Amino acid sequence: MTLKDMYEEFWEFIDEDNEEFSEFIKNDVRRRKCNSFYKNYYKFKAKFSMIFYSFAKIIL
């Protein structure tokens, strides 16, 4: 089994900082999609929390 085969099989479990798979990580479109999803999720969560807090502050 080659490094590429291993990466393709277990890419979800390989850390972003792994030096052995760095070339695969850098060129993997799936990782970019996952990372952008989580970044957008946390931005939304932060905005929602601020709006909710402001709303609760007005009501109380």
Q: Report the SS3 class of residue 20.
A: coil
Tens digit of pLDDT for each residue in 16-55?
Answer: 889 999 999 888 888 777 666 666 665 666 666 777 667 7
Q: What is the model's pLDDT at position 2?
A: 93
Of 58 and 7, the one with more pLDDT: 7
Give yes or no for a contact between 3 and 20, defined as CB atoms under 8 angstroms apart: yes
CA-closest candidate to residue 26, choices 37, 14, 41, 38: 14
Phi-psi label, residue 52: left if phi above 0, alpha if psi -120 to 50, beta otherwise: alpha
Q: What is the model's pLDDT at position 16?
A: 83
